Structure 1
Amino acid sequence: MSINNKILVAYQKKLGQRIKEIREDKELSQLDVASVCDYDKTTISRIENGRTNITLKTLLNLARAMEVDISQLFEFRD
Structure 2
Amino acid sequence: MRRREVLGSLSGAGALFGLPAASAQGKAPPLPDAALAERDPERYWARVRDEQFLLPGWRAFLNTGSLGVAPR
Higher RCO by CA contacts (8 Å cutoff, separation 6 or greater): 1
Larger Rg: 2
TM-score (norm 1): 0.29
Structure with the higher helix share, 1 or 2: 1
